[in-house]
Structure 1
Amino acid sequence: MEPLATRPMTPADWPAVEAIYRAGIATGHATFEAEPPPDWHAFASGKRPDLMLVAVDGDDRVLGWAAAGPVSARPVYRGVVEHSVYVAPHAAGRGVGSQLLGDLLAVADRSGVWTVQSSIFPENAASLKLHQSAGFRVVGRRERIGLMPCGPLAGQWRDTVLIERRAPATTS
């Protein structure tokens, strides 16, 4: 296997991040979004800069990305973030998602985040399995929460599975 590393995401990574995001959107199982944000600034504006990572190969080609942003501006939720993990189709099955998620969680733990959460389509079995192996638990299911706007499932009501992972110091 070729070398794999993670590093902070930069504006120069946007073309690759956008392409990977677009590929995820095309599956119909990654997001309700119909299009990636129009540019780096729109993408990064809702994220915490310290919680934006890319996975790269030995030639620094982006294979995937992970990012998280606050769920609320209210001080009581300052340690709660919602995250996303996307892997380039050609890099699937090579441990990219595991490395990204593990490194994202390590940074989150060091930076005072106590809950990392997300909503995943129940059909996205690979993502659910990845998150379960990283210590996430299912906390609920939102039935018919959104009408899919695009892609192969356009016009269908979709469920999402709510998952969360608590930082080790907050689980007791």
Structure 2
Amino acid sequence: METTIKIAYFTQEDWPEISSIYKEGIDTGTATFETQVPTWKAWDISHVKSCRIKAISKNTIAGWAALSPTSKREVYKGVAEVSIYITSKCRGLGIGKLLLSKLIEESEKAGFWTLQAGIFRNNKASIDLHTSLGFREIGYREKVAKLNDIWYDNILLERRSKIII
């Protein structure tokens, strides 16, 4: 039986499920340099309000995606960084591609012309997801930060809008 995935905006009421999925990502050790889930207030302040979406499967949040500004400077108002997390129970089902496709669409509606992603070199699934939707590798940061006393490289990807030129 095929499962229907619904994409919708998320709000503070969804934070318990969203933060639980974020915690799963933190626990993998390959999704983020964060070691603790922030409070809703801290997360809310640091992310773009118009580009926060969730994937719902069987009445449960299966994943989420959001944007955060890369700079407070006016000239960079159309550049944002992508966050995307899928619950371990739903990885490999195409939910990431649905979410990231919708996030790209929503970002362009909101006036973003460039999306960026910094992905651990060993997170091949995330790199493949992003490149499948038009992100290109623009470089890397070698041993940019430590996590659990291990240095990690971060692959830098970006996607330039073909709509906002």
TM-score range, shorter chain: over 0.9
Give the Cα–Cα distance (whole angstroms) in 2 for the partners of residues 91 and 58 of structure 1: 11
- Secondary structure in structure 1 of the residue aligned to 2:106: helix
Q: TM-score, normalised by structure 2?
A: 0.96
Q: Residue in 1 aligned with 2:31? A: 30
- Secondary structure in structure 1 of the residue aligned to 2:163: helix
Q: In the TM superposition, what is the alpha-carbon distance from 1:169 to its structure 2 partner?
A: 3.2
Given that 2:65 and 2:100 are in contact with CA atoms closer than 8 Å, whether structure 1 keeps it comes out as yes
Give the Cα–Cα distance (whole angstroms) in 2 for the partners of residues 58 and 7 of structure 1: 14
Match for 1:2: what amino acid? T
1:13-28 equivalence runs, <5 A: 13-28=14-29
2:150 paired with 1:156: yes
Give the Cα–Cα distance (whole angstroms) in 2 for the partners of residues 165 and 40 of structure 1: 28
Match for 1:26: what amino acid? D
Q: In the TM superposition, what is the alpha-carbon distance from 1:155 to its structure 2 partner?
A: 0.4
Match for 1:13: what amino acid? D
Q: TM-score, normalised by structure 1?
A: 0.92
What percent of counterpart residues are identical?
38
Number of matched pairs: 164
Q: Which runs of 5+ in 1 are unaligned?
A: 149-153
Match for 1:56: what amino acid? I
Q: In the TM superposition, what is the alpha-carbon distance from 1:24 to its structure 2 partner?
A: 0.6
Alpha-carbon RMSD: 1.0
Q: Residue in 2 aligned with 1:40? A: 40
2:93 paired with 1:87: no
Q: Residue in 1 aligned with 2:161? A: 167
Higher strand share: 2
Structure 1 runs (4+) deviating above 3 angstroms are none
Q: In the TM superposition, what is the alpha-carbon distance from 1:82 to its structure 2 partner?
A: 0.6
Give the Cα–Cα distance (whole angstroms) in 1 for the partners of residues 164 and 54 of structure 2: 27
